[in-house]
């Protein structure tokens, strides 16, 4: 991803990515079955509390406009992706339990136990993984909240990706669930903690976008919707880059006052 864009020299290096999981699809059946039939348990809330405390204390984590996420019914969250901790940043301010997709390489002991009890389900990287979409759609059919990164993997450059994958478009069209674009700003520097550098992380939620149901969307339809969604993510992110957290919060307050 973004191989032609050099990484920000101020970022700590990341481990080399493993793009293909050699384990057979059947290995992950039990994780999908649990995600399709059971809700996250107390592990979810325990981990959420711990990571929220860490985020707020060490990374000055704050959320903006979290009330834009519908409190009931199916909903898709579409954030940008820089850090492993983005999962936790995304759900920190939400009362709803967010069901995450995670790369299958993470499903190894002991982490897989935490993931499955927390409602996470695998994406088998390097393969066409229909099981992931079946699981996501089944959760949305039960009026759950699913998060999917339009960029698919983490950006390693410190900048938003120039391209997105069609998966979020497919889910949006097949489910008809509202999609909330989300900008996570500052998490690209979370891995700099070894250098004694702790960033300021801000999560801003945008207005929900709704699409009519298309049972069998074409690849072109999926891609077009994915790009439209990510354009909203980019606009939120660019606002945080340009105005900073305080500037965006001021802007949101002014817009709210005008609307009322």
* 64/89 Cα distance (integer angstroms): 12
Q: Enter the tokens of residue 177.
A: 């669930």
Mean pLDDT, residues 183-210 taken together? 88
- Residue 57: name the closest of 201, 244, 186, 248 by CA: 201
In this prediction the pTM is 0.90
Domains along the chain with CATH numbers: 25-259 (3.40.1130.10)
What are residue 146's phi and psi, to 5 degrees?
-120, 135
| Mean pLDDT value across the chain | 92
Cis peptide, bond prior to residue 110, ω within 30 of zero: yes
Q: Enter the tokens of residue 112.
A: 């897989």
Kind and range of the H or E run holding 183: strand 179-185
- Mind listing the pLDDT tens digit for each residue in 58-86? 999 999 999 999 999 999 999 999 998 99
Q: Enter the tokens of residue 75.
A: 């909903």
What does the angle CA 102 – CA 113 – CA 111 come to, to the nearest 5 degrees?
60
Give Cα separations from 55 to 50, 60, 231 (angstroms).
9, 6, 27
- Mind listing the pLDDT tens digit for each residue in 96-139? 999 999 999 999 999 999 999 999 999 998 888 999 999 999 99
What are residue 59's phi and psi, to 5 degrees?
-115, 10
In this model, does residue 4 exceed pLDDT 60?
A: no
* 176/103 Cα distance (integer angstroms): 25
């Amino acid at each position: 991803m973004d191989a032609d864009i050099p990484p920000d020299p101020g970022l700590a290096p990341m481990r080399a990515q493993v793009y293909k999981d050699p384990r057979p699809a059947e290995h992950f059946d039990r994780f999908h079955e649990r995600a399709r039939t059971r809700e996250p348990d107390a592990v979810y809330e325990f981990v959420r509390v711990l990571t929220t405390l860490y985020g707020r204390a060490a990374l000055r984590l704050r959320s903006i406009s979290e009330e834009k996420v519908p409190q009931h019914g199916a909903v898709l969250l579409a954030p940008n992706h820089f850090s492993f901790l983005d999962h936790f940043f995304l759900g920190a301010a939400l009362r709803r339990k967010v069901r995450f997709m995670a790369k299958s390489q993470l499903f190894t002991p002991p982490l897989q136990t935490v993931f499955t009890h927390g409602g996470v389900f695998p994406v088998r990287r390097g393969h066409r993984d229909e099981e992931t979409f079946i699981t996501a759609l089944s959760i949305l059919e039960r009026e759950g909240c699913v998060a999917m990164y339009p960029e698919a993997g983490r950006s390693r450059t410190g900048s938003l990706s120039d391209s997105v994958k069609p998966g979020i478009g497919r889910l949006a069209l097949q489910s008809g669930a509202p999609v909330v674009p989300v900008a996570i700003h500052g998490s690209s520097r979370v891995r700099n903690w070894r250098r004694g550098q702790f960033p300021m992380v801000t999560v801003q939620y945008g207005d929900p976008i709704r699409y009519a149901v298309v049972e069998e969307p074409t690849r072109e339809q999926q891609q077009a919707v994915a790009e439209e969604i990510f354009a909203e993510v980019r606009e939120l992110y660019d606002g945080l880059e340009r105005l900073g957290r305080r500037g965006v919060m001021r802007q949101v307050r002014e817009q709210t006052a005008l609307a009322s």
